[in-house]
Structure 1
Amino acid sequence: MTEHDQTARARYLAETAQLLWPPPAVVNTGPRNGNRVVSEFLVLPSLADARLLLPLRARRAAAAVALRYAEPRSLGRKARAHAMSLATSTGVAQALFRSRLRIELPLDEPSAELDTVETLLCDVLGEQALVGLHLTRPRANRKPVVQALTTHGQLRAVAKIGTGDLTRSLVAAEERNLRMLGRQRTTTFAVPRVLDFRSWRGLLVLTVTALPVDAPRAPAAPARLAGVASEIAATATTAETVARESRYVAALRVRIGRLRQPAAQQLRQALDAALDAAGDGTLRFGAWHGDFTRANLAVLHDKVLVWDWERYGAGVPVGYDLAHYYVQHDILARHDDVSAYLTGLIDRSPNLLAPMALDRDEATLVIKLYLVEIATRYVADRQDEMGELHDVLPELLEFLAGL
């Protein structure tokens, strides 16, 4: 990790802590100074590379937070998370790793009333709550996601906190989407239930029930993923229409027109090329999750658990979710040759989207439109300025301009 990355992670930890534990609480990452310690956290692996914040005085809760760091469950990440969970539950991690974050009350205000993320979640749940955090990689939509646990390590709820304009809008959208989905009867997938939604100290806080992600898993078979994607598509009105005459394409053109140059011109060319090649081809339009990835779902034997519904939307081509599932993993794993990957992706699109009952022409058009859609989102969110897409997005735009 570069010195710049270390500085960015340390700064994000400090900023996040100040938001979640505002004055009169004092955030201290240095040595003890005589103040009254209210809460204490183990920072893993270090303050300079902070990825986990674990409640220090409750080993079971800390072990539970560490274990859930395995999502999404790659073999390597799962093994590391299990090892860290075991080390935490036995006290080994506390002895080996020395970085601490303490929430304190100053000596001159030892009885001051606190209004922190912990007191907020205690109010929501009606009982004592311990908190833990996963600190995610830098990206435009990064936001604090707080786990609320019992002292025995049972995950009770998850709180998502909108801090800026983009993340506040996403948190508000997820609240609306989850309430709408909660009124529907779904058979292939389950979603969290909204417990609380409020403005708190200038932030937006959405608290939802914890899904049973610790349940035994089943293989993520394409047919099951397609079944979930199809049911999600049906959560809004579905219709078939000529793609180039659709409301979706008209709205996409408007969003592209708001982007900065040269990205707007590149995406406009890509959209025109895809639609010209399709002629009067029709597509089915419905809803999509909007971020249907390995990181946001768990395939169980009876249902698929799906969370992070902030990007849900209606009136998009059916097949977007399945395309997103594969592309988001592959394009980041193979970013050394993005153009070759995307060329192969379009060639493989009929097989990739066959479980969605799309023919060759429909699948090819869906993949092309999806790439324009996701690139439009990334440019609008300025994802090229930070995180994993820093190098990928320019190559994606260049490829699309040559369609």
Structure 2
Amino acid sequence: MAGTTLSIAVGAPRANAKPVLALHNRRGEVVLWAKTSTNDLTAGLVRHEHHVLSALATRPPASFEAPATLGLLDLATGPALLMRPLVSASSRPAPADTVPADVVAVVAELATRAGVVAMTAGRWSPLGPDAPREATALLHLWHSRHRGPVPVGAWHGDFGPWNMRRTASRAQVWDWERAETGAPLGVDAVHYGSHVVLRGQDVRASLEHLRAVAVPAVERVLRAAGAPDTTADAVVDAYLLLVHRRFASEGAAEGTGAVLALAAHYAEVLRARPDPSAPRHPHDRKETEHP
């Protein structure tokens, strides 16, 4: 095509890595993105993202904008998703260490778009019949800790500053291949403020970060969605389980040791999290509670 340039973006090696092609015009502007696939895992992700973007286009969200899909091509290597780029005249940096108010609004709208179900904690299960053994054990642990109703909706699955841009009017959010329903409200807020941090910290530091950053962020999302904020600890624990499930399944399928190590870390952090259902020891009470 005259006056156009094709480029290929190459990222860090990971289980879901795939070539992403960009078509540029003479001014260097991207006019088309093409996300391709190379194996069964990435083919499924590409097809799923096409389905999610098509659904978002039927009822455009108020607080964020997603790429417009231009179609799905069947190539010899697998499906390729064609997308129109998101364009913005100006943008603000998206902080990674806090969850700002406009990001809370995006998470709340995203989570409630498909409706919210107040599900008894004992009925929630994100695992299929072929789930890794440790993920099943962690789900039993989650059920033993959390017994009340938990609001369940949708989540982006990889919502963070690396997959969004904050503009003057609303956020722009891309990379929807991990989106799914059936997740406790607020898990995207945990991912936004904690995913990168947890990958670089030991268990003790991870626990402190979740207490200081993730739990308050989830409480804000729950209040914005009109749900009780008392389930924040259940949401944080559910997030750790969901990401462990992803890393364990994909690490085993692709034989990626680094991904399996991340799965083990998330499992360790979840097991070390405080159990809100456990009775408090008398010595744990504040001094003001003593006669």
TM-score (norm 2): 0.82
Verify: 1:283 aligned to 2:128, yes or no.
no
Query: In structure 2, do the counterparts of structure 1 residues 253 and 161 end up closer, same or farther at CA, with 3 Å as the change threshold?
Result: closer
- Counterparts of 2:219 and 2:35, CA distance in 1: 35
- Cα displacement (A) at 1:201: 2.4
Aligned residues, how many? 264
1:347-392 deviations in Å (ceiling 9; x for gaps) = 3343131211265640001000110111001111117954864643
Give the alignment partner of residue 326 of structure 1, picking from 181, 193, 202: 193
Q: Tell me the CA shift for residue 237 of structure 1.
A: 2.0
Partner of 1:314: 181
**Aligned pair 1:370/2:239, yes or no?**
yes
Q: Could you say what secondary structure the match of 1:381 adopts?
A: helix
Match of 2:122 among 244, 258, 278: 244
Q: Distance in 2 between matches of 1:243 and 1:269?
A: 15
Identity value in percent? 24
2:270 paired with 1:400: yes
In the TM superposition, residue 218 of structure 1 has moved relative to its aligned partner by: 5.5
Inter-partner Cα distance in structure 2 for 1:402 and 1:316: 22
Change (3 A) 1:198 1:219: closer
Q: Cα deviations across residues 219-265 of structure 1 (Å, max 9, x unaligned)? A: 5552111100111112212121212123xx1xx2435x432xxxx2x
Q: Deviations over 1:282-329 (max 9, x none)?
A: 111111111101111011111100001111111211101111111212
CA shift at 1:148, angstroms? Answer: 0.6
How far 1:214 sits from its partner (Å)?
6.0
Counterpart of 1:145 in structure 2 is 20
Whether 2:206 is the aligned partner of 1:342: answer yes
The one-letter amino acid paired with 2:102 is R
**1:3-402 equivalences in 2 (<5 Å):** 122=1, 128-212=3-87, 215-217=90-92, 220=95, 222-246=100-124, 249=125, 252-254=126-128, 257-259=130-132, 264=133, 266-279=134-147, 281-332=148-199, 334-335=200-201, 337=202, 339-348=203-212, 349-356=214-221, 357=223, 361-382=230-251, 385-386=255-256, 389=259, 391-401=261-271
Listed one character per residue, the Cα deviations across residues 18-38 of structure 1 (whole Å, up to 9, x for unaligned) are xxxxxxxxxxxxxxxxxxxxx
Q: Report the Cα offset of residue 269 of structure 1.
A: 2.9
2:7 aligned counterpart, secondary structure: strand
Is the CA contact 2:111–2:185 (under 8 Å) kept in the aligned structure 1? yes
Contact 2:18/2:38 (CA < 8 Å) preserved in 1?
yes
For residues 215 and 376 of structure 1, what CA distance do their matches in structure 2 show?
37
Using a 3 Å threshold, how does the CA distance of structure 1 residues 388 and 298 change in structure 2: closer, same or farther?
farther
| Higher mean C-alpha deviation, range 140-149 or range 388-397 | 388-397
Alignment check: 8 A CA contact 1:218 1:301 kept: no
The runs of 5 or more residues in structure 2 that have no matched partner are 274-291
- C-alpha RMSD of matched pairs (Å): 2.3
What's the offset of the Cα at 1:177?
Answer: 0.6
Partners of 2:234 and 2:37 lie apart in 1 by 35
Partners of 2:249 and 2:5 lie apart in 1 by 36
Letter in 1 for 2:13: P
Cα distance in structure 2, aligned partners of 1:164 and 1:254: 21
- Is the 8 Å Cα contact of residues 137 and 387 (structure 1) preserved in structure 2? no
Tell me, in whole angstroms, the C-alpha distance in 1 between the residues paired with 2:257 and 2:106.
29
For the residues of structure 2 that align with 1:188 and 1:210, how far apart are their CA atoms? 18
Q: TM-score, normalised by structure 1?
A: 0.61
User: Kindly tell me: are residues 321 and 389 of structure 1, through their superposed partners in 2, closer, same or farther at Cα, counting changes over 3 Å?
Assistant: same
Residue 226 of structure 1 aligns with an amino acid whose one-letter code is V
1:346–1:364 Cα contact (<8 Å) kept:
no
Q: Which has the larger radius of gyration?
A: 1
Which runs of 5 or more residues in structure 1 are unaligned? 1-121
Tell me, what secondary structure is at the counterpart of 2:115? coil
- 3-state DSSP of counterpart to 2:36: strand
